[in-house]
Amino acid sequence: MRPILRSTILLPLLGLVFSNSPMSSQKLATPATPNADRDLRHQSADWFTIEPHLPNPQTATWQKLEVAADVLRARRFPEDALVYYGYAMQRGGPQQELLIRMGVTELELRNIALARTYFLQVVRLQKKNAQGWNNLGAAEYVDGRYGNAISDYGKAIKLDKKSAIYHSNLGTAYFEEKNFERARQQFDIALTLDPDMMQHHDASGVEAHMLSPADHAHYCFEIARLYAHRGDEENMLRYLTLSSEGGFDVLGSMGSDEVLAKYRKDPRVITLVRTATALRNSKTSVADARTGGVPPLPQAHD
């Protein structure tokens, strides 16, 4: 599960036109230390396509510089995107919005301390910036400071109670703290606000932090539980499958839930658990065979 950062709307790449200007008049800022990955990306065909159309930072408007930064970030040139966000700010661009984008980019680069610094600047400039508090919470979450993340997400929610993203983020932080009851409450609110949230959840935000495999399997069971309570059997079965494939004791845990208990002997559930068990055993067998071990026989659950 990842924290979701509502930071910017990525503009469509097709048909996007930059102001033309010679690169000789707009040297990119050079990082203080060598960056082999960046140098390698600068040898790609993608870079040679983008580079000639980058706007001149000395003459272009902040809007054009910001668009250039967005495109650079979308095309996986984060260090160059940071440079152009900085140019946009120097040309009078909106400080708080650009600081958020820079913070999100630093978080994508795993520069958590720098990201936190940018988000802190945002909330210091405007204490009622819900987006800033949410993103500060995400930085704390990625850094394992779950108590701080819970506090920051709470502040974001006070400022924007109708954001499913903020409630989902808070639920994830509670989950990490093993406070499953509060996690369920927040996930339930998030699904009420946005019933399709889980479908686009994984496509959003920064992929900088993952639950452990065991926790992710448990998380999927909790989401299945929510869908069961809502009468959404399709998504319930989907998340039970993910949970079982991750090794969670789905059948054993279903018995203690008043809604899920009735599905415990459902042929669809029994089948998905058996299939997941066979899949896990198959992967174990391959791993054991590669290391010289004796593959175990698949076991089915009644």
- pLDDT for 249: 94
- The one-letter code for the residue type at 280 is R
How far apart, in whole angstroms, are the C-alpha atoms of residue 183 and residue 7?
A: 24
Tokens of 243: 């949970």
Give 265-269 contacts, CB < 8 A, sequence gap 24+: 268/237, 269/237, 269/240
For the chain, give the percent of residues with pLDDT over 70.
Answer: 78
Which pLDDT score, from 0 to 100, does residue 5 have?
Answer: 55
pLDDT digits (tens, 9 = 90+) for 212-269: 778 889 999 999 999 999 999 999 999 999 999 999 999 999 988 888 999 999 999 9
Contacts for 115-121: CB closer than 8 Å, 24+ residues apart: 115/139, 116/140, 116/143
Is pLDDT larger for residue 7 or for residue 190?
190
Residue 170: band (very low, low, confident or very high) from pLDDT cuts 50, 70, 90: very high
Min mean pLDDT across 27-31, 98-102, 103-107 is at 27-31
C-beta separation of 138 from 169 below 8 A = yes
Residue 27 has pLDDT above 80, yes or no: no
Pick the CATH number of 1-6+42-168 from 2.60.40.290, 3.30.460.80, 1.25.40.10, 3.40.50.620: 1.25.40.10
Q: Find the angle CA(177)-CA(180)-CA(182) to the nearest 5 degrees.
A: 90
Q: What is the pLDDT of residue 37?
A: 79
Residues in Cβ contact with 180 at an 8 Å cutoff, skipping those fewer than 6 apart: 174, 222
* Amino acid 287: pLDDT: 43
Position 104 pLDDT exceeds 80: yes
Distance CA 70, CA 87 (A): 13
C-alpha R_g of the chain: 23
Cα atoms found within 13 Å of the Cα of residue 95, Cβ hemisphere only: 9
Q: How far apart are CA 225 and CA 237, in angstroms?
A: 10
pLDDT at 39 exceeding the cut of 80: yes
Query: Per residue in 202-213, pLDDT tens?
Result: 433 333 345 677
Residue 239 has a pLDDT of 94
Tally of CB atoms within 10 A around 56: 17
